[in-house]
Amino acid sequence: MVLTAMMVLAFVAGVKGDDPTIAEVTHQQLQAVDSDGVGTYAATDKVIVTGIVLNNPEEMLDPTSSTSGMGGQYQFYVQGEDDDHAGTAVYMAQRYVYMGGGYYTEEQWSSELSRMNHDPNTGYTFQMGDRVKITGWYMFYKGKVNINEKHKSDSFYDVNVELVTPAVGLPHPETITLDLAKDGNDQFIFDQTRATGCEYYQGRLVRVDDINIVNSENWAANATLTIADSTGRTFPLKLGIGDGFTRYPCPTGQISIIAIFDQEASSTTICQDGYRLWVTNYDGNGLVLTDRGHKRGNLPGDINSDYTVDFYDFAELANNWLIQRPGL
């Protein structure tokens, strides 16, 4: 095997001890792909991006400390603003042992989550709808470039999140129809330039109206369902792990969804499929699969938001007694 100069440079740059190169980039620059859908950004070792947080991490992946698999996991999306029509996921896991990157003990993991969940300058707890600045390393995986720790628990690879503006609100979701993402044969539309098709929407908040969920019997937290429109086009719907998926039944009939347009391709080298719509929580309204975070009723103790404080609320409370969320 012949090492090209670029490969040698890339290797040297990744070795701990050298000063990593860094640049402020747009989400579009960071998410650029080649004709296979593989990420092309390689100009610096680390990047800085700014945007709006689209989800609360613990509603997307379970941060609970564990000694199996990847252990606890943490992920949120940040969406570009103005002309920067793209978005990026920030990912972190407790255990990288299968990749040779070490692991966090339960105590270290809780501390690392806490560091990521709070603004280092004010102590403010980040929430979806905040404008943040992220500084970190990155890795391409199955169709998107994630900002992450390069699967290493050493602090040299830390991701840093800073508050720019609190509570600016979620971006207005872009209303799309499935024919913008699927062709007439119900196949994903892939455009290398990312000016159209699935790539154009990846990493962003979208709304799809007048669809139905075709396999509601599979409704459960973390499930993958399928939506369909009147043209027969379908799309994978990934449910997060927000408590609404357990508390409320699957909405029926023609509904709307507001989701993060995600990609997890079936391959790591040809990444033109695996697009899905990820809804991280649901407020039970029956018409739009989303979570607006503002419950009606104004009754303290109405845990399940059915406008009555009773034993159903108490049962949820008792069932979850003394559970703690690490890092918050």
Q: Tell which one of 29, 50, 79, 304 touches Ca ion (CB under 5 A).
A: 304
Matching residue, tokens 């990820």: 278
CA distances from 175 to 17, 102, 260, 299 (A): 46, 42, 12, 33
Q: CB-wise, 162 or 273, nearer to Ca ion?
A: 273
Q: CB-wise, 13 or 303, nearer to Ca ion?
A: 303
Q: CB-wise, 100 or 300, nearer to Ca ion?
A: 300
**Sole window of 81-89, 240-248, 279-287, 298-306 interacting with Ca ion (rule: CB under 5 A):** 298-306
Q: Tell which one of 45, 106, 306, 316 touches Ca ion (CB under 5 A).
A: 306
Q: Does 143 bind Ca ion (CB under 5 A)?
A: yes
Q: Tell which one of 302, 314, 319, 323 touches Ca ion (CB under 5 A).
A: 302
Q: CB-wise, 169 or 301, nearer to Ca ion?
A: 301
**Sole window of 50-58, 218-226, 228-236, 308-316 interacting with Ca ion (rule: CB under 5 A):** 308-316
The residue whose Cβ lies closest to Ca ion is: 143
Q: Does 273 bind Ca ion (CB under 5 A)?
A: no
Q: CB-wise, 2 or 321, nearer to Ca ion?
A: 321
Which neighbouring-strand residues pair with 207?
175, 258
41: burial class by Cβ within 10 Å (0-12, 13-18, 19+)? middle
Min. distance of Cβ 312 from Ca ion in angstroms?
A: 5
Q: CB-wise, 18 or 292, nearer to Ca ion?
A: 292
Min. distance of Cβ 249 from Ca ion in angstroms?
A: 16
**CA proximity to 130, closest of 148, 118, 112:** 118
User: Of residues 205-264, which lie at the interface with Ca ion (CB under 5 A)?
Assistant: 263
Q: Tell which one of 106, 273, 313, 316 touches Ca ion (CB under 5 A).
A: 313
Min. distance of Cβ 37 from Ca ion in angstroms?
A: 5
Min. distance of Cβ 164 from Ca ion in angstroms?
A: 26
Min. distance of Cβ 7 from Ca ion in angstroms?
A: 23
State the amino acid at position 172 in one-letter form.
H
The two three-digit tokens of residue 141, written as one number: 């995986």
CA distances from 75 to 56, 212, 234, 264 (A): 8, 27, 26, 14
The two three-digit tokens of residue 86, written as one number: 């793209």
Q: CB-wise, 158 or 313, nearer to Ca ion?
A: 313
Give the total of residues touching Ca ion (CB under 5 A).
7
The site for Ca ion (CB under 5 A) is made up of 143, 263, 302, 304, 306, 308, 313
